[in-house]
């Protein structure tokens, strides 16, 4: 469990990082918090020729609120999302309120253990693209936008296009994930997150995030998002289950009906920690609970 030989560069500017990525292409791997990459290298499951450590680069660890979204810098550690703050347009830094401000800590506490949350980064998790990772599920559910930089250019990738398969994203070898835009979610949204893992801190066997928008006049759901991890190579949205919610007033029966559809909508593969049938079962439980949590009711 010693990594194979690799070269190591630690540029101190984004330009130099992008130069390095441009030069080394798919021989290079970006090192952020190292909480997934380093174990994979130690197992020799990852054998990058060149490690580009972005730990010395300034400007990647900010959180700011712009145009109704929270921009999370790639090197923001998980622990900061347990009590998220954002730099406001006027320059002040304030605790992030609102629905997203409540949701992020709810999710962050499921990310690994404290030492992992103290080193691992938000952007690292997104770029690593584990299909059961909390931040990937959140990004997919909320339609986050990923900001990718390359030498001389920038592009924004929608979450729906970003996650391609297990540990594989739309990022090109020359690109650096620099930040992620998350929608703030207005006060008419209700979001919930529920996860089942074998032990505290383990990757989820199945996790679900839900976000529903309520019509202020009727209290009925006008828009619904259900994202699930642990059932495919990427976090998935469940449009059929989402559709069952629209027009309904949140409540146990409505949630159960959506959860039932969700369980039928996934097509998981089984592994050591859960067969396909069991994961389907868990989708039912997790979706119902996330919806109930979002509605402020016990699951």
Partner 1 sequence: MGEPDGARGRSLIGESVLRLEDRPLLVGEGRFLADISFDGEVHLRVVRSDVAHGVLRGVDLDDARAGEGVVAAWSAEEVAHVPAIEFRMTGFDELRPYCQRILASEYVRYVGDPVAVVIAEDPYLAEDAAELAFVDIEPLDAVLEASSPESVAPLTLETSYGDTDAAFEAAHRVVELHAAVGRHSGVPLETRGLLAFPRPDGVLELHGIAKVPHYNCATIAAMLDLQPGQVVGREGHVGGGFGIRGELYPEDVLVTYAALRLQRPVKWVEDRREHLVAANHSREQSYRVRAAVDERGVVQALDAEFFHDQGGYVRTHGATVPNLSVALLPGPYLIPSYRVRGNIRLTNKTPAGTYRSPGRFESTFVRERLLDRVATELDLEPVEVRRRNLIPTEAMPFDRGVSTLGTPLVYDSGDYHRLLERLVDHIGYVALRESLAQRRRQGEMVGLGIGMFVEKSGLGPFDDVRVRRLDDGGVEVVTGAASVGQGMETAIAQICADVLGVDYTDVSVRHGQTDMIGRGMGAFASRVTVMTGVAVYMAASELAATGEPAEATFNTDHMTYPYGAHAAVVRVDAGTGGVTVERFVVAYDVGRAVNPMLVEGQIIGGVAQGIGGTLLELFSYDPDGQPLATSFMDYLMPTVAEQPHVEVLLSEDAPSPLNPLGLKGAGEGGTTACGAAIASAIDDAIGRPGAVTTLPATPELVRSLLRN
Alpha helices in the chain (DSSP H): 14-24, 37-42, 98-108, 114-119, 122-128, 134-141, 159-162, 239-245, 252-265, 276-294
Residue 280: CB minimum distance to partner 1, A: 11
Q: Is 1 in the site for partner 1 (CB under 8 A)?
A: yes
SS (H, E, C) 93-143: EEECCHHHHHHHHHHHCCCCCHHHHHHCEHHHHHHHCCCCCHHHHHHHHCC
Identity of the residue, 82 or 223, whose beta carbon is nearer to partner 1 in the bound complex = 82
Residue 199: CB minimum distance to partner 1, A: 6
Residue 273: CB minimum distance to partner 1, A: 8
Please select the residue that binds partner 1; options are 5, 91, 95, 216, rule is CB under 8 A.
Answer: 5
Identity of the residue, 56 or 198, whose beta carbon is nearer to partner 1 in the bound complex = 198
Piece of 36-44, 117-125, 137-145, 215-223 that binds partner 1 (CB under 8 A): 36-44
**Number of residues counted as binding partner 1 (CB under 8 A):** 28
Binding mask 256-285 for partner 1 (x = CB under 8 A): ----------------xxxx--x--xx-xx
Residue 164: CB minimum distance to partner 1, A: 23
Residue 175: CB minimum distance to partner 1, A: 28
Residue 55: CB minimum distance to partner 1, A: 22
What is the Cα–Cα distance from 32 to 11, expressed in whole angstroms? Answer: 12
Identity of the residue, 24 or 196, whose beta carbon is nearer to partner 1 in the bound complex = 196
Which residues between 147 and 166 bind partner 1 (CB under 8 A)? none
The helices-and-strands tally (H runs, E runs) of the chain is 10, 16
Residue 33 and residue 120 in contact, taking contact as beta carbons nearer than 8 Å = yes
Identity of the residue, 135 or 189, whose beta carbon is nearer to partner 1 in the bound complex = 135
Q: Is 297 in the site for partner 1 (CB under 8 A)?
A: no
Please give the sequence-ordered ranges of beta strands (E in DSSP) within 151-216, or none if there are none. 153-158, 163-165, 168-169, 176-183, 189-196, 206-214
Residue 13: CB minimum distance to partner 1, A: 31
The token pair that represents 124 in the structure block: 């690292």
Tell me the Ramachandran region of residue 224: left when phi exceeds 0, alpha when psi lies from -120 to 50, beta otherwise. beta
Binding mask 173-212 for partner 1 (x = CB under 8 A): -----------------------x-xxxxxx-x-------
Which residues between 40 and 59 bind partner 1 (CB under 8 A)? 43-44
Tell me the Ramachandran region of residue 239: left when phi exceeds 0, alpha when psi lies from -120 to 50, beta otherwise. alpha
Residue 70: CB minimum distance to partner 1, A: 29
What is the Cα–Cα distance from 134 to 290, expressed in whole angstroms? Answer: 13
- State the pairing for strand pair 50-53/7-9: parallel
Check residue 7 and report its DSSP letter.
E
Other beta carbons within 10 Å of 11 = 18
Please select the residue that binds partner 1; options are 37, 289, 290, 295, rule is CB under 8 A.
Answer: 289
Residues that bind partner 1 (CB under 8 A): 1-5, 39, 43-44, 196, 198-203, 205, 272-275, 278, 281-282, 284-285, 288-289, 299
């Amino acid at each position: 469990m010693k990594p194979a030989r690799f070269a190591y560069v630690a540029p101190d500017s984004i330009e130099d990082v992008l130069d390095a990525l441009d030069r080394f292409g798919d021989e290079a791997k970006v090192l952020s918090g190292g909480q997934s990459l380093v174990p994979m290298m130690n197992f020799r499951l990852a054998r990058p020729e060149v490690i580009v450590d972005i730990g010395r680069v300034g400007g990647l660890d900010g959180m700011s609120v712009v145009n109704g979204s929270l921009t999370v810098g790639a090197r923001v550690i998980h622990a900061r999302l347990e009590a998220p703050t954002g730099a406001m347009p006027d320059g002040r830094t304030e605790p992030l309120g609102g629905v997203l401000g409540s949701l992020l800590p709810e999710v962050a506490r499921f990310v690994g253990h404290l030492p992992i949350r103290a080193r691992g980064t938000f952007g690292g998790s997104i770029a690593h693209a584990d299909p059961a990772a909390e931040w990937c599920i959140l990004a997919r559910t909320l339609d986050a936008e990923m900001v990718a930089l390359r030498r001389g250019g920038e592009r924004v990738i929608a979450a729906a296009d970003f996650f391609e398969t297990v540990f594989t994203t739309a990022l090109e070898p020359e690109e650096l994930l620099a930040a992620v835009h998350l929608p703030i979610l207005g006060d008419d949204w209700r979001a919930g997150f529920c996860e089942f893992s074998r032990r505290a801190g383990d990757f989820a066997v199945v996790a679900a995030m839900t976000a529903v928008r309520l019509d202020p006049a009727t209290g009925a759901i006008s828009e619904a998002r259900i994202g699930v991890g642990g059932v495919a190579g990427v976090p998935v949205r469940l449009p059929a289950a989402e559709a069952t919610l629209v027009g309904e007033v949140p409540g146990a029966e409505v949630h159960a009906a959506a959860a039932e559809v969700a369980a039928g909508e996934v097509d998981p593969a089984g592994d050591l920690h859960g067969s396909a049938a069991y994961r389907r079962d868990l989708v039912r439980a997790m979706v119902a609970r996330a919806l109930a949590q979002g509605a402020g009711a016990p699951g």
